[in-house]
């Protein structure tokens, strides 16, 4: 399995948590304190609809904020397989140890990510 960043796990966790929250909100039943059965069912349906829409809006807003954070914190380069230094994208040599990505790729080596 590919290594995910912490923010990716956070996004998935938030989405799963909200899916459970919305599913339990849809399935929840309230009590009818002194209302007729038809009025209770109608009020319950409206209340559940409003609650689910609000839960969805909360999920969406937090998801969008977390997505922006995820996007802004993405790695700006790749890690040198020899020394572990960050190498900016587009550069073919590590500035610290001189590892040559282009030479190793043309020699049949795997392209490090």
Q: Write the pLDDT tens digit of every residue in 89-102.
A: 778 888 888 888 77
21 in a domain, yes or no?
A: yes
What's the whole-model pTM score?
0.61
Model pLDDT for residues 1-23, shown as the tens digit of each residue:
457 888 889 999 999 999 999 88
Together in a domain, 27 and 62: yes
* Spatial CB neighbours of 99, under 8 Å, sequence gap ≥ 6: 80, 81, 82, 83, 93
Q: Are residues 97 and 65 in the same domain?
A: no
Q: Assign residue 99 a region: left if phi > 0, alpha if psi is -120 to 50, beta otherwise?
A: beta
Q: Give the total number of structural domains in the chain.
A: 2
- Answer whether 99's CB lies under 8 Å from 77's CB: no
Q: Residue 91: which domain range?
A: 78-106
Classify residue 94 by burial, with Cβ atoms within 10 Å: 0-12, 13-18, 19+: buried
* Predicted confidence band of residue 64 (pLDDT cuts 50, 70, 90): very high
Residue 111, in any domain of the structure:
no
Question: Are 58 and 16 part of one and the same domain?
Answer: yes
Q: Are residues 55 and 99 in the same domain?
A: no
Is residue 112 in a domain? Answer: no
Query: Do 15 and 52 fall into the same domain?
Result: yes
- What tokens appear for 6 in the block? 């912490």
For residues 15 and 50, state if they share a domain.
yes
Please give the share of the chain, as a percent, with pLDDT higher than 90. 26
Residues 65 and 90 both lie in one domain? no
């Amino acid at each position: 399995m590919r290594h995910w960043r912490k923010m990716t796990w956070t996004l998935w966790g938030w989405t799963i948590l909200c899916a459970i929250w919305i599913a339990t909100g849809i399935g929840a039943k309230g009590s009818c304190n002194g209302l007729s059965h038809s009025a209770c069912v109608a009020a319950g349906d409206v209340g559940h609809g409003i609650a689910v829409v609000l839960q969805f809006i909360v999920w969406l807003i937090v998801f969008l904020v977390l997505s922006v954070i995820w996007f802004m914190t993405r790695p700006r380069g790749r890690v040198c397989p020899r020394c572990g230094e960050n190498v900016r994208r587009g550069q073919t040599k590590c500035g610290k140890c001189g590892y040559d990505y282009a030479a190793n790729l043309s020699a049949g080596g795997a392209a490090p990510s």
